[in-house]
Amino acid sequence: MPGKPDDIKMVSNAMANAPRRKMMSLLANGDRTVEEIGEAVGKSMLDYHLKILEQAGLLEIKDGNASLSEFGKNFMEEKSEKGPQKAADLSKAKPVEIAEVRQLIPCIADSTKFRTIANMAPPLAGSLKHLEPLFPRGRYSGKIGALMIQRGEILITVYGSGKVTMTMIKDEDEAKKILDDLRTTINRAIESGVTPVPRERVKVDPLEIRKYLPRTDCGECGEQSCYSFAIRLMAGEVSLDLCAPLKEPKYRQNLEHLKVLAEYI
Ligand code: SF4
Over residues 8-55, the pLDDT tens digits come to 677 877 887 778 888 888 898 888 899 989 888 888 788 888 998 998
Quickly state the pLDDT bin for 2 (edges 50, 70, 90).
very low
Quickly state the pLDDT bin for 1 (edges 50, 70, 90).
very low
Ligand 1: distance of its center to the CA of 101 in Å? 36
**Shared-domain flag, residues 28 and 75:** yes
Q: Which atom of ligand 1 is nearest to the CA of 242?
A: 1
Q: Are 6 and 14 in contact (CB under 8 A)?
A: no
In a domain, 102, yes or no: yes
Q: Which atom of ligand 1 is nearest to the CA of 226?
A: 8
**Shared-domain flag, residues 74 and 130:** no
Q: Are 116 and 169 in contact (CB under 8 A)?
A: yes
**d(Cα 258, Cα 251) in Å, to the nearest integer?**
10
Highest mean pLDDT among 48-62, 145-159, 203-217: 48-62
Regarding the beta carbon of 245 and ligand 1, being less than 6 Å apart is answered yes
pLDDT at 200 over 60: no
In a domain, 107, yes or no: yes
pTM listed for this prediction:
0.48
Ligand 1: distance of its center to the CA of 209 in Å? 12
CATH code of the domain in which 249 resides: 1.10.15.40
What's the number of domains the chain is made of?
A: 3
Ligand 1: distance of its center to the CA of 242 in Å? 8
In a domain, 88, yes or no: no
- Domain extent for 16: 5-82
CATH code of the domain in which 154 resides: 3.30.310.10
Task: Identify the residue whose C-alpha is closest to ligand 1 atom 2.
Answer: 243
What does the pLDDT look like over 218-265, one tens digit per residue?
A: 999 999 999 999 988 887 778 888 999 999 998 887 887 787 667 655
Report, as an integer, the average pLDDT of 147-171. Answer: 85
Q: Of the ranges 80-84, 94-98, 257-261, which one carries the lowest mean pLDDT score?
A: 80-84
Give the gyration radius of the chain's Cα atoms: 21
Q: Are 60 and 50 in contact (CB under 8 A)?
A: no
**d(Cα 106, Cα 150) in Å, to the nearest integer?**
19
Regarding the beta carbon of 255 and ligand 1, being less than 6 Å apart is answered no
Ligand 1: distance of its center to the CA of 223 in Å? 7
Type of residue numbered 127: S
- Res 199: pLDDT: 58
**Shared-domain flag, residues 166 and 104:** yes
∠ CA 99-102-104 to the nearest 5 degrees? 135
Regarding the beta carbon of 238 and ligand 1, being less than 6 Å apart is answered no
What does the pLDDT look like over 169-192, one tens digit per residue?
A: 888 889 889 999 999 988 888 887
CA atoms within 13 A on the CB side of 17: 23
**d(Cα 189, Cα 182) in Å, to the nearest integer?**
11
Ligand 1: distance of its center to the CA of 238 in Å? 12
Tell me the best of 210, 224, 227, 229 to mutate to test the pocket of ligand 1, counting ligand atoms within 8 Å of each CB and taking the most. Answer: 229
Q: Are 201 and 264 in contact (CB under 8 A)?
A: yes
**Shared-domain flag, residues 183 and 129:** yes
Quickly state the pLDDT bin for 107 (edges 50, 70, 90).
low
Residue 146, classified by CB atoms within 10 Å of its CB into exposed (0-12), middle (13-18) or buried (19+), is buried
- Res 263: pLDDT: 60
**Shared-domain flag, residues 104 and 176:** yes
Task: Identify the residue whose C-alpha is closest to ligand 1 atom 7.
Answer: 226
User: Who wins on pLDDT, 65 or 145?
Assistant: 65
**pLDDT, mean over the chain:** 81
